Structure 1
Amino acid sequence: MNESILYPLFFTPIYQYRLWGGRRLTNLLTEPLPKGPVGEAWILSDRDDYASVVNAGIYKGYTLTQLFEQYPESIMGKLAGQFDRFPLLLKFLDAQEVLSVQVHPSDDQKEYIPKGDTGKTEAWFVIESGPKAKIYAGLTPGTTEQDLRKGLADHRVADYIHCFVPKPGDGVFIHSGTVHTLADVVVFEVQENSDTTYRLYDWDRTDAKTGKPRELQVDEALACIDFNLTDIDPVKPKDITTGKVIREEYFNNEHFIMWRMHTTDKFTVGAEDEPRILVCTEGNGELNFNGTKYPVKKGDVVLLPAEIGVINCIPQGKINLLEIAIPDTNK
């Protein structure tokens, strides 16, 4: 194909085994889960090892990587040339059990980032919370490296991490350098396109597949911690409602901007000359583009290429829809 004829692009989720996972992603996604604990569904990924595949239309079977390389201006618009690959990685997480206590490096900590990767700032939107739900985010004020090393020796690392009980609709911003973990929740995660994680502590458990503890990277994790990032609580969304369409801005940083719309009324999504990503967390509706209707249901992720511009979303009943933008790094 010499030129693109792009449209709203839907993708098949990529399931990932995780020892802390469960089966609750069946409540979100129609694609059957593999056997065993499923901790993650990568729903938009431009990674060498796991690239998302378009599941409908003339580009069915194409990967996001192929489309990004073949049609960079059509996909990215005014952002074309700013990134070597699609800059965000989107996931659903089912943390049936608690994840390891971990930290991600910042973009400027080059010595702790594998070649070709970046730092990792991320954010969570809570979809479901269980009876043992808990989010750990940020250290308790005054915690030092010596405190954490002692906590490791005493198996009491959690004593030095701020925690709270999350509820559906909470948004949590995890800047690179933040010590964090979560348990008994299903969340949507948006992050830099990076897979660099350093485990500080794993609750002294063993991996059922190997019968051995998972590897820790204590020195690297400690080196990447920003000890000023303490007491991280849910964000307070900024209300930018217009008319009957409730619209809230959850996150706005140098890597991503995210809004939530929840309404029964028609509203617009997308933007002129820049890509947008839509994630439906509740309800269903349809997108209208170029005379064609594209049904959207709970669990769907949709990439709106830049060349599409602004289009209408028409809910069928009430819909909860997340919209994600990529900031212009040239501004």
Structure 2
Amino acid sequence: MSTPIYPLKFDPIYQYRLWGGRKLAHLLSKPLPENEPIGEAWLLSDRDDHASKVSEGELKGTTLTELMKKFAVEIMGKIENHSDRFPLLLKFLDCKEVLSVQVHPSDDQKQYIPKGDSGKTEAWVVLETSKDSRIYAGLKKGTTKENLIESIKNKSVPNRLHSFVPKKDDAIFIHSGTVHTLGGTVVFEVQENSDVTFRLYDWDRNDPKTGKPRELQVENAIACIDFNQVDIKPVVPMQSPEFKNAEILFDNEHFKLWRIKSKSEFTVGFKDEPTILVCAEGKGSIKYNNQDYLIGKGEVMLLPAIIGQLNLQPEEEIMLLQITIPDKK
């Protein structure tokens, strides 16, 4: 009996955030909820509270969580040590206002991670900027636990943070333990499948929905900071040996990400391992089992491991982010 698995697309899950805006309406075809700031669109999520649902085909309406239970081997292939839960969470962020200054624990800081969760290393690709764009990544050199705590007391935390004005296409790697935030930008985010965030500082603002400040977790945040993560700058892309018109932006123990810009046909995917495609600009199609699967701006497609490599034909120039999961054996 043939498996019904095929290239899978998913509906985005929109999330209210007080720092969000309305720019994701231009990136995604699914309408935004009315009259509230939308900060995040979760593109691929295997979370109990927000599980992505297949948007097309025979498996339409099936959650990624259900797929991982029923088709773990077909989806994950040789990456079998991840088969209980999909290990990455993908998002678009519309950071109209600056986010809270925050930090995420590393995988080995178990005492700060709820059961069933992980630490959180993440990375951003800048899609849009504005006149007030700024990325805060890492501490300034010379920042210590003592002078950082003092800066929280006297509300001068930004003076302790390294920051820069981002440009479109900048790629920034945020290792767990790095103090970070950003504002005035739209980014694509890839991260470990974790929702563990500790707020260090929130710019002394109130949440319009509650009229109160959001909760801070200063003690946990301080405990999870890697004080060696200073002066983080955009990564320098590397030309890809595997793909024409492609550059490698991130390559670490949690994910590998290529950015491919092409007007002509190119190969995507790998044999016996899952591949995620995110279309940032343009559109194109993939043929599998004599059927065309379209991918357009703002869409995500999961190629299960069993599918292997396919050819993608751009309709016009396409900018595609291709992501794979390293085997941790």
TM bucket, shorter chain = over 0.9
- Identify the residue that residue 294 of structure 1 maps to in structure 2: 293
- Aligned partners of 1:10 and 1:300 also within 8 Å: yes
Specify the alignment match of 1:68 in structure 2: 68
TM superposition shift of 1:240: 2.0
* 3-state SS, counterpart of residue 66 of structure 2: helix
Change (3 A) 1:197 1:294: same
In structure 2, what is the equivalent of residue 209 of structure 1?
A: 209
Paired residue for 2:129?
A: 129
Give the direction of change, closer, same or farther, for the CA distance of 1:93–1:147 in structure 2 (3 Å limit): same
Give me the whole-angstrom Cα distance separating, in 2, the residues matched to 1:82 and 1:242. 24
> For 1:186 and 1:325, how far apart are their aligned partners in 2?
23
Aligned residues: 328
Return structure 1 stretches of 4+ with deviation > 4 angstroms: none
SS of 2:25 mapped into structure 1 = helix
- What are structure 2's unaligned runs of at least 5 residues? none
The code of the aligned residue for 2:19 comes to W
Q: For 2:327 and 2:292, locate their aligned partners in 1 and report how far apart those are by CA, in whole Å.
A: 30
Checking the alignment, whether the CA contact within 8 Å between 1:103 and 1:198 is kept in structure 2 is: yes
Query: 2:94 is matched with which residue?
Result: 94
| Secondary structure in 2 matching 1:200 | strand
In structure 1, stretches of 5+ residues that fail to align are: none
SS at match of 1:260: strand
Structure 1 residue 223: deviation in Å? 0.2
Which amino acid in structure 1 is aligned with residue 56 of structure 2? A
Given the superposition, is the C-alpha separation of residues 76 and 242 from structure 1 closer, same or farther in structure 2, using an over 3 Å criterion?
Answer: closer
Q: Which is worse superposed, 3-12 or 246-255?
A: 3-12
Structure-2 residue corresponding to 1:190: 190
Letter in 2 for 1:41: A
- Residue equivalent to 1:200: 200
**Is 1:307 equivalent to 2:306 in the alignment?**
yes
Structure 1 equivalent of residue 25 of structure 2: 26
Aligned to 2:50: 50
Equivalent position amino acid for 2:73 in 1: E
- The corresponding residue for 1:170 is 170
Return the offset for 1:311.
Answer: 0.2
Tell me: CA distance 1:73–1:130, structure 2 relative to 1, closer, same or farther (3 Å).
same
Residue 147 (structure 1) aligned with residue 147 (structure 2): yes
RMSD: 1.1
Letter in 1 for 2:104: H
What secondary structure does 1:12 align onto? Answer: coil
Matched letter for residue 247 of structure 2: E
User: 1:148-192 CA distances to partner (integer Å, 9 max, x unpaired)?
Assistant: 111111111010110010111110000000000000000000000
TM-score by length of 2: 0.98
Q: Which residue of 1 aligns with 2:10?
A: 11
Give yes or no for contact 2:73–2:83 (8 Å, CA) kept in 1. Answer: no
Deviations 1:305-324 (A, max 9, x none): 00000000001111000000
Whether contact under 8 Å (1:137, 1:174) holds in the other structure is: yes
Query: Which segment drifts farther, 29-38 or 145-154?
Result: 145-154
8 Å contact kept, 1:99–1:202? yes
- How far apart in 1 are the matches of 2:241 and 2:168? 20
**Counterpart residue type for residue 298 of structure 1:** K
Aligned residue type for 1:56: E
Deviation at 1:84, TM superposition (A): 2.1
- Residue identity in the other structure for 1:15: Y
* 1:288 positional shift: 1.4
**Partner AA of 1:319 in structure 2:** I
Is 2:253 the partner of 1:254?
yes
Query: Distance in 2 between the 1:92 and 1:122 partners?
Result: 13
Per-residue deviation at 1:295? 1.2
The superposition leaves residues 78-123 of structure 1 with CA deviations (integer Å, 9 ceiling, x where unpaired) of: 1124342000000000000000000000000000001110000000
Task: Describe the SS at the equivalent of 2:277.
Answer: strand
Contact residue 289 and residue 312 of structure 1 kept, 8 A:
no
Distance between the aligned counterparts of 1:224 and 1:86, measured in 2?
Answer: 24
